[in-house]
Structure 1
């Protein structure tokens, strides 16, 4: 294991560094990865961001995005970079299985593994860990790592600030979740002072939908929404045919579950989608309801109390039925 002093000594000299994050990266995954990347290149490090899969187009504008390598598109190059790395930063995930085939490569690498994350129950694969489940986003922890652990606040320039603001904004649901503390707002103020243009970032992320995405959203709300008032629960279920009909692209399903949760009486919302190889679930909840407990116990998943995800090898119909059969177990929590 590395202690902080040893890590700081290591980073005092240019290193070959790989930064990676979970598959199908979201705003926090890409914001924290590119925020760290833009910090490290100022220090003269040879850094590369490698994502396990593609990610939404509405995140492709961030500074440094042109340098991102997508593993599924450049497997040999990615494997060579990981094998040759001195340090691998593992951001916004805490288990090597979350980076798909890259997990074996990172696990086998002789590089120091640095985990920066805010998810529960991390695996023990890292050499240094900056971890806090109370952080609203991994991007918040990257800020803390740069400013308070490495003591380089002056290196939080406009590019770093822009990326970290994006990560915090998206993972806090635009600063609406309970873990958006006064500390988070102070960090965000610092990022704006450093050059993050808050209104423009919001426009680029949230106001860049395609016509197809809006029509797909309309279909989900009009035809796929099921409300279970006896459990204060709502389900949106989408099959493969729907995805093909509306030409759904990476990122087009992101956030749809929140529309189901937006109803005043709903405490638990599920977005269940039939993908090519498995059925995926995205759960959101209000208050103290443990969405992460459901996916951990029944759907090989995990996450946060109010935002969690899982998957199943069963059919879409079987997964919907299983989810409904679980609800009586949680009825007291759902109707209180």
Structure 2
């Protein structure tokens, strides 16, 4: 592995840098990526953010977003940038399969690879790793990387602070998940002092729905919510026809899984959606319940204890039945 001193020395000269993050990027993925981008360009680096896929419109307001390259829409340019990069930052993912076809380009690149992430069981493709599974967001780790490892807090300007605050806010579910420690709140306060307008960021992310998205959310809560009181669990399922009916776009399903946890006594909630080529599953839990264990064991996925995801090539009905059959196995944990 590369030593920190060697990385700092490497970054003393302007470099060709690519920043990438996982497919279908969320607020933390884009916040950490654009936060790092806005930091690097101040030092004269030629930096580019490349996302494997598109991402929600409610994240497109962030500083630097206009320079983002979407791989699926610009494969040739993306491939050239990766091939010519001297350094590649891999943010908010820890295995190259999470960036789809872009992963093999990164693997083949001779660039120095830096991973900044907080997910379990990282793949050994990186040369330098800033990794902590206890961090609430990768944006928190980017802040720590800039401030405490590179000693460049003076370069956290308003643009950097805005992006990093967005990443921390979204991945902590607006600062309410268990890993939102006092240290996280101190970082958030510091970012506000450095220019992040917290209330405005919250408004841009959470009060920016299209009419279709709002009606789709209402449909999910009114017509698709199932409650299993004997397991303190809720489930929302959506098929492809419903996605088409409500003209669901990238990001429109974001956060729906969380609503089940607002019911009194619920400890586990699931959102299962039928996509074109596979069925996707998102789990959220409270306390010590291991949502990531279910995703890893049964649905080819993983994640954090209280926020995890998986997928299956089985039919929607098969995935739904499988999830329901799993619940008795975890009944003791769910009702304790």
| Structure 2 length-normalised TM | 0.99
- Structure 2: distance between partners of 1:106 and 1:280: 25
Following TM superposition, by how much is the alpha carbon of 1:42 offset from its aligned partner in structure 2, in angstroms?
0.4
Residue 264 (structure 1) shift: 1.2
Cα deviation for residue 197 of structure 1 reads: 0.4
Q: Does 1:38 align with 2:35?
A: no
Between the aligned partners of 1:264 and 1:158, the Cα distance in structure 2 is 39
Deviation, structure 1 residue 231: 0.8
User: Which runs of 4 or more aligned residues in structure 1 lie more than 3 Å from their structure 2 counterparts after TM superposition?
Assistant: none
* In the alignment, structure 1 residue 253 sits paired with structure 2 residue 253: yes
In structure 1, C-alpha distance between the alignment counterparts of 2:308 and 2:289, rounded to whole Å: 11
Matching residue of 2:191: 191
Q: Give the CA deviation at 1:261.
A: 1.4
The 1-side partners of 2:334 and 2:268 are apart by 7
Deviation, structure 1 residue 262: 1.0
Corresponding residue number in structure 2 for 1:143 = 143
1:302 counterpart residue number: 302
Counterparts of 2:261 and 2:240, CA distance in 1? 23
How far is 1:155 from its partner? 0.2
Match of 2:211 in 1: 211
The alignment covers a number of residue pairs equal to: 336
Q: Give the corresponding residue for 2:165.
A: 165
- The whole-number CA distance in structure 2 between the counterparts of 1:310 and 1:46 is 35
Partner of 1:155: 155
Give the superposed CA RMSD. Answer: 0.5
Give the Cα–Cα distance (whole angstroms) in 1 for the partners of residues 309 and 152 of structure 2.
35
Q: Distance in 1 between matches of 2:181 and 2:219?
A: 36
Q: Which residue of 2 aligns with 1:181?
A: 181
How far did 1:213 drift?
0.5
Structure 2 residue aligned with 1:58: 58
Unaligned runs of 5+ in 2: none
1:306-327 alpha-carbon deviations (Å, 9 max, x no partner): 0000000000000000011111
- State the distance in 2 between where 1:214 and 1:35 align: 29
Structure 1 residue 278 and structure 2 residue 278: aligned?
yes
Q: Who is 1:10 aligned against?
A: 10
1:263-274 equivalences under 5 Å are 263-274=263-274
Q: Report the Cα offset of residue 277 of structure 1.
A: 0.6
- Quote the offset at 1:229 in angstroms: 1.1
CA–CA distance in structure 1, aligned partners of residues 290 and 58 of structure 2: 30
1-structure distance, mates of 2:20, 2:237? 31
Q: Take 2:232 and 2:200, find their aligned partners in 1: how far apart are those partners? A: 36
Alignment correspondent of 2:83 = 83
**Distance in 2, Cα, partners of 1:34 & 1:229:** 42
Q: What residue is the counterpart of 1:101 in the other structure?
A: 101
Equivalent position of 2:20 in the other structure: 20
Deviation at residue 274 of structure 1 after TM alignment: 0.1
Structure 1 residue 19: Cα displacement: 0.2
Q: Aligned-pair distance for 1:137?
A: 0.3
For the residues of structure 2 that align with 1:301 and 1:21, how far apart are their CA atoms? 17
Give the Cα separation in 2 of the matches to 1:299 and 1:79.
31
Q: TM-score, normalised by structure 1?
A: 0.99
Q: Using the alignment, how far apart are the partners of 1:193 and 1:225 within structure 2?
A: 41
Deviations 1:125-168 (A, max 9, x none): 10000000000000000000000000001000000000000000
In 1, distance between residues paired with 2:303 and 2:104?
22
State the alpha-carbon separation in 1 of the partners of residues 329 and 98 from structure 2. 28
> Which position in structure 1 is the counterpart of 2:327?
327
- Cα distance in 2 for residues equivalent to 1:240 and 1:322: 19
Aligned to 2:226: 226
In structure 1, stretches of 5+ residues that fail to align are none
Corresponding residue for residue 291 of structure 1: 291
Please report how far the alpha carbon of residue 59 of structure 1 lies from its aligned counterpart in structure 2 after TM superposition: 0.2
* TM-fit CA distance, 1:104: 0.5
**Deviations 1:231-253 (Å, cap 9, x if unpaired)?**
11110000000000000010000
